[in-house]
Amino acid sequence: MVARHDQTTDPALLDALLQARRGTAFFARKLNELPDAELDGSSLLPGWTRRHIVAHVGYNARAIARLIEWAATGVETPMYSSPEARKHEIEFGATLSPIALRHLFDHSAVHLNVEWRDLPADAWHHKVKTAQGRIVPAEETVWMRTREVWMHAVDLDNGATFSDIPVPVLERLLEDITGAWKTRGTDTGLVVKVTGQEPEPSFGDTPAAQPTVVSGPLPTVVQWAAGRGSGGVAAMRKGTPLAVPPAPKWI
């Protein structure tokens, strides 16, 4: 039998696909470590159990697969029919039996992987629309999924931390988050600094004479910026330590 391979030969895209697949495998490992009874436990996201996280990640794969079908066929297939439908889908998925919930994750991940694998090389540039209304090339779906699986593996609250997330993923996450703040204008008076690197990257273009500087190693800075806690970061203004403020809203 002839092996099946990704249709694209773009090295950068193949690299990105590998990162997404590794994230999927990491999420699967953290999920498989959880006994069925512990799926009812709380996640790191307020109001969501681990069941909600698994349901969301499973249905997210199906939604992204619809975008890939759109790119392949030219027939518009939105991620979700409405925000309400997306919310209902997650709430319903959280009520599934443990075996059905696990199958949802497994089968949806395989489905998305096949859609990616079989997408013709030229179709990766075809435009699709995200649930937020952004018009993006189909290749953007790889980052959309990468972000979901790595971060939500941590949200399962089963031992994974932001330190487990690969550095390139953390760096792009921080760029995305601080970029969203800048677009909304919610980063005024705030500078984010990553320590332990040479040179030390900083984010935030603020006219404030005395900005609040939030700093720390890359994993903990991203954790704070993503609204997952402030452990490991520090805040200062004009050389004076401060209580670490909540990060501006990201999504």
179-184-190-193 Cα dihedral, nearest 10 degrees:
-10
pTM (2 decimals)?
0.91
Its domain, for residue 184, covers 167-242
Q: Which residues 6+ apart lie within 8 Å of 176 measured at CB?
A: 147
User: CA 118 → CA 52, 114, 115, 122, 131, distances in Å?
Assistant: 30, 6, 5, 12, 23
Q: What is the CATH number of the domain that holds 147?
A: 1.20.120.450
Cα 48 to chain centroid, rounded: 16
Q: Residue range 75-90: average pLDDT? A: 92
- Give yes or no: residues 219 and 185 share one domain: yes
Judged against a pLDDT cut of 90, whether residue 101 lies above it is answered with yes
pLDDT per position as a tens digit, 108-118: 999 999 999 99
42: in domain = yes
Number of domains comprising the chain: 2
When pLDDT is cut at 50, 70 and 90, the band that residue 1 belongs to is very low
Q: Residue range 175-202: average pLDDT? A: 85
Q: What is the CATH number of the domain that holds 232?
A: 3.30.1050.20
Residue 210 is predicted with a pLDDT of 83
Residue 206 is predicted with a pLDDT of 63
Enter the tokens of residue 175: 């760029």
Q: Residue range 164-190: average pLDDT? A: 92
